[in-house]
């Protein structure tokens, strides 16, 4: 009997995992339920799933894995519905970025021997199945949160499965996971959303702030375009951790304000120097919850065909361009060409290639 995997919810993350399974395990049978019938139709048309289930029913029997990929508040509700279809060796998992609540519900339902929490720390500011892709979880940390009843062999099997999909498994305890993600994922989303709203509320009548917002502002607020429903659910389910983390961060902001108020030159330098050094020490191997972009910036000759020449150089060396455009902001003395690639290797090759052709390439 061939392996079978079930999905409850087929949005950005669920769809990406399903596509990764189809890519690396083309013979697996994939069954999916989603409230959005158009999503199921598209996934069937693309041959990502074999069975489009209109309800959670017998189609989910005999699964090796069942992934709960709905918003975190809904995943706990789906536990009761899926419980009757769990075979002895089936691993039940989820992809939510909050773990304590679902672990508590699993314990109350006596499903601890089946459940291993999962959280692929990858994503996009875009949501929904149409934006899913197999490579989304590639090189991303995939956190696994086992229960007390989890057998080591099942944890090892799930970790190996995650690796086969191109992700990097990390084992954490549920409470520890929620505090960590609250700090490095949930807090940045709240900051980004608050910052965007702050600019909106304080903009001029002519919307000068909005129109003059350059690359730096857009970079740090890009995640504010994420699904409001998803982040509403996350903040409710992880409210204790997020509240404490926000309190600590507000204190940090007050300390920064004091440095500005006092004109403390040494303190301000220290603020920016330590943050720069720590930021530069962050590993670049994981896709992370805030997707990394791979881009090269270079000067171009101000003449007709300048962009076409660069594009031809890159294309002739089999480098695929994801996006290309001219950037004008204070980070560069004059406008430069920004060329975005699909992966870090292509970005590095492009930089060396353009330097070989005497182009000035900037590092960021």
DSSP states along 133-154? -GGGGTT-EEEEEE-TT--HHH
Q: Where are the alpha helices (DSSP H) in the chain?
A: 12-24, 37-45, 72-83, 100-109, 152-164, 174-181, 187-202, 208-212, 215-221, 228-237, 239-262, 265-280, 306-316, 344-356
Give the Cβ contact number of residue 345 at 10 Å. Answer: 11
Phi, psi of 253 (to 5 degrees): -65, -40
Q: Read off the tokens for 188.
A: 């940045």
Give the list of residues 6+ apart from residue 8 with CB closer than 8 angstroms, or none: 32, 33, 56, 66, 67, 68, 69, 70, 75, 78, 82
pLDDT score of 125? 65
Give me the pLDDT at residue 73, please.
Answer: 79
Which phi and psi angles does 290 have, rounded to 5°? -110, 105
pLDDT score recorded for residue 330: 38
One-character DSSP codes across 206-260: T-HHHHH--HHHHHHHGGGGS-HHHHHHHHHHTHHHHHHHHHHHHHHHHHHHHHH
Backbone φ and ψ for 87, nearest 5 degrees, come out as: -80, 170
Centre a 10 Å sphere on the Cβ of residue 261 and count the other Cβ atoms it contains.
8
**pTM beyond 0.75, yes or no:** no
Cα-to-chain-centroid distance, residue 350: 25
A 10 A CB-CB count for 205 gives 5
* pLDDT tens, N- to C-terminus, the chain (364 residues): 579 999 999 999 999 999 999 999 999 999 999 999 999 999 999 999 999 999 999 999 999 999 999 988 788 889 999 999 999 899 999 998 899 999 999 999 999 999 999 999 887 667 789 989 998 888 889 999 999 999 999 999 999 999 999 999 999 999 999 999 999 889 999 999 999 999 999 999 998 898 888 667 877 888 888 778 888 988 998 999 999 999 999 999 999 999 999 999 999 999 999 998 988 887 655 554 445 668 888 877 656 677 888 888 998 999 988 888 776 543 444 557 889 888 888 988 999 999 888 888 876 6
Tell me, what's the pLDDT at 215? 63
Q: Pull the structure tokens for residue 359.
A: 């182009």
Q: Rounded to 5 degrees, what are φ and ψ at 262? A: -85, -10
Using the Cα atoms of residue 205, residue 211, residue 212 and residue 215 in order, give the sign of their dihedral: positive
């Amino acid at each position: 009997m061939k392996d079978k995997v079930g999905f409850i919810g087929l949005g950005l993350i669920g769809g990406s995992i399903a596509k990764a399974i189809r890519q690396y395990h083309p013979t697996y049978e994939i069954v999916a339920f989603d409230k959005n019938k158009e999503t199921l139709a598209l996934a069937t048309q693309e041959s990502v799933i074999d069975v489009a289930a209109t309800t959670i029913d017998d189609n989910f029997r005999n699964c090796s894995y069942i992934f709960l990929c709905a918003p975190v508040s809904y995943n706990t509700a789906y536990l009761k519905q899926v419980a009757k279809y769990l075979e002895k060796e089936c691993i039940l998992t989820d992809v939510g970025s909050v773990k304590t609540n679902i672990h508590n519900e699993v314990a109350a339902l006596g499903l601890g021997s089946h459940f291993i929490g999962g959280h692929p720390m990858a994503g996009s500011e875009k949501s929904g199945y149409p934006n899913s892709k197999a490579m989304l979880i590639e090189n991303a940390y995939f956190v696994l949160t086992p229960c007390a009843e989890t057998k080591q062999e099942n944890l090892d099997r799930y970790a190996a499965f995650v690796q086969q999909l191109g992700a990097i498994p990390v084992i954490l305890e549920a409470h520890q996971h929620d505090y960590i993600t609250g700090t490095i994922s949930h807090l940045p989303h709240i900051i980004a959303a608050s910052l965007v709203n702050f600019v909106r509320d304080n903009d001029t009548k002519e919307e000068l702030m909005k129109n003059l917002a350059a690359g730096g502002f857009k970079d740090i607020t890009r995640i504010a375009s994420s699904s409001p429903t998803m982040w509403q659910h996350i903040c409710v389910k992880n409210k204790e951790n997020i509240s404490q983390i926000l309190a600590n961060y507000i204190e940090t902001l007050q300390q920064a304000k004091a440095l500005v108020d006092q004109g403390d030159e040494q303190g301000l330098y220290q603020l920016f120097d330590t943050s720069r050094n720590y930021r530069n020490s962050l590993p670049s191997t994981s896709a992370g919850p805030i997707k990394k972009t791979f881009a090269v910036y270079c000067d171009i000759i101000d003449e007709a065909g300048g962009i076409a020449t660069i594009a031809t150089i890159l294309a002739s060396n089999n480098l695929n361009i994801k996006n290309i455009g001219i950037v004008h902001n204070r980070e560069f003395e004059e406008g430069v060409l920004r060329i975005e690639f699909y992966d870090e290797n292509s970005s590095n090759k492009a930089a060396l290639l353009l330097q070989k052709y005497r182009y000035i390439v900037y590092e960021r």
